[in-house]
Structure 1
Amino acid sequence: MKDNFSKQAADYSKFRPQYPEEMIQYLISFVDNKSTALDLATGNGQVAHKLSAHFKKVFATDISQKQLDNAIRATNIIYSKESAEKTSFKNQQFDLIVVAQAVHWFDFEAFYKEIYRILKPEGIFAAMGYGLFSTNPDSDKILRQFYYDIVDPYWDAERKYLDENYETIPFPFEEIPTEKFQNQFIWSFEALIGYLQTWSSVQHYISKNNQNPIDLIYDELKFSWGNSDKKVTFPLLLRIGRLNKGNKV
């Protein structure tokens, strides 16, 4: 798994959008035994923290120590630094395994073999994420130019799985059809810029060009944002599967 997020770990924790409680409630409704859950590539721990209200014990891992240092704490969350493709957990340990906004970074073959090892029979696996947000028409025009024209060459190849709404990722489970969810926020201009700053493509652009690409749209976007309702809407991605004896990696 690539580590694209250590550098901006504090911003990631502050500016990345949360998943709505209704989506979490919907996910855990498929889990019969709420004993032990695992949040892989936990980042700032937002999903792990939400799961901790429903499970006796939650484990959460990430390859970035800086991300873990900024993670939300709870008495029943155990954080550890390790890869999602090769963990230290016992066979058939978890009732639920979740990956939020990260499964596209994994070596799918190695990852799913590990999931089959550590997920309980009939356990639930979920891949969650969010796509490109939309906002008012004027700001959308600026942001889509930024996304598709300015930083597009600086995305890692794996980004395409998000653009394809996770529909094209390998998914070797008995899949459960899911409801559609979205998340809406009112964002200050600082929150908008803070979120853009967490994009891996922005960081890659800065590293290669020694310039922040956000500067290219900053003034125009600030004017547009100041004259808008400041609403943003994220399409949420969710695939849920159950592990059974008929599944094959």
Structure 2
Amino acid sequence: MTSNNFKDHFSSGSAGYASYRPTYPIELVDALAHISPGLGRALDCGCGTGQLSVLLAERFDEVLATDASAAQVEKAQPRDGVSYRAALAEDSGLPDASVDLITVAQAAHWLDLEKFYAEVRRVARPQAAVALITYGVLHVEGAVDRAVQHFYYDTLGAYWPPERRHVEDGYRSLPFPFKEIALPPLAIEVQWRMDDLIGYFNTWSAVKAAEKSLGSNPVEAVAETLRKEWGDPASQRRVTWPLSIRAGHVQK
């Protein structure tokens, strides 16, 4: 299912997205399960290739994961208890009052929030939990982080879609008409080789926009810099992303 308002920045790179997007910590799912009124069904909207969906299945009996991009859904990670569906977040197709938790991870800035929140209220069970989740700009341990930050802010700055500002401010500028709950501070942390980082860069919408505008992939230049500073390319470095979570309960 698609919409004229759906901005598809990711279908063309769905395979890379599945391979290189970071995985959320299980502590995030534990925190969401803790504030949910039950563990029967979770709805993960804008699921991409299922990074959060499969983790939700560790705590919830059933997970419905939806994404407007059929290409993303096609590449999604299979997991018992998770059903994938190509559908808009604003139109899940679920029955009224049937969901304990509604999540949107790294996708709320693409949604028609007024329509999405109406859908949240429709499908939510009494006191269901809702969470908008986003991770900020990555940091890589060591001196190579300077090159990473320069690439993100300076090389690609003009190519990020305007909605990206909501990610950078942790979704604080988005409306959130629910009774808000503070969750403990969390972060994504991985150990990556240089090629993992380069693969991740190539999933960025700004890289695709820059390549279209410039006629060449800007990742190639930053990869040369990284090769000089990384050392053994097979060695791993710690990469972290701060998590920002706006969570609350749906008042019926």
> TM-score, normalized by length of structure 1?
0.94
Q: Deviations over 1:62-120 (max 9, x none)?
A: 11111111111123221111111223221112110111110011111111111111111
Partner of 2:27: 22
Partner of 1:114: 119
Unaligned runs of 5+ in 1: none
Partner of 1:39: 44
Partner of 1:54: 59
Q: Deviations over 1:129-188 (max 9, x none)?
A: 211011234212111111111111111110000110111111110000111011222210
What SS does the aligned partner of 1:222 have? Answer: helix
Please state if 1:90 is matched with 2:90.
no
Q: Report the AA paired with residue 247 of structure 2.
A: I
Partner of 2:199: 194
Please state if 1:230 is matched with 2:226.
no
What is the alpha-carbon distance in structure 1 between the residues aligned to residue 190 and residue 157 of structure 2? 25
Q: Check whether the contact 1:44–1:67 (CA below 8 A) recurs between aligned residues.
A: yes
What is the alpha-carbon distance in structure 1 between the residues aligned to residue 190 and residue 83 of structure 2? 30
Deviation at 1:232, TM superposition (A): 1.1
Partner of 1:178: 183
Q: Check whether the contact 1:136–1:229 (CA below 8 A) recurs between aligned residues.
A: no
Unaligned runs of 5+ in 2: 1-5
Indicate the RMSD between aligned Cα atoms, in angstroms. Answer: 1.5
What is the alpha-carbon distance in structure 2 between the residues aligned to residue 76 and residue 23 of structure 1? 18
Please state if 1:219 is matched with 2:220.
no
Count how many residue pairs are aligned between Structure 1 and Structure 2. 245
Show structure 1 runs of 4+ deviating over 6 A: none
Partner of 2:3: none
Partner of 1:203: 208
What SS does the aligned partner of 1:24 have? Answer: helix
Which of 154, 157, 165 pairs up with 1:152?
157
Q: Deviations over 1:10-53 (max 9, x none)?
A: 11111110001112111111113111110001111121111112
What is the alpha-carbon distance in structure 2 between the residues aligned to residue 166 and residue 224 of structure 1? 33
What is the alpha-carbon distance in structure 2 between the residues aligned to residue 26 and residue 216 of structure 1? 40
What is the alpha-carbon distance in structure 1 between the residues aligned to residue 104 and residue 174 of structure 2? 13
What is the alpha-carbon distance in structure 2 between the residues aligned to residue 134 and residue 74 of structure 1? 30
Identity of aligned residues (%): 36
Please state if 1:74 is matched with 2:104.
no
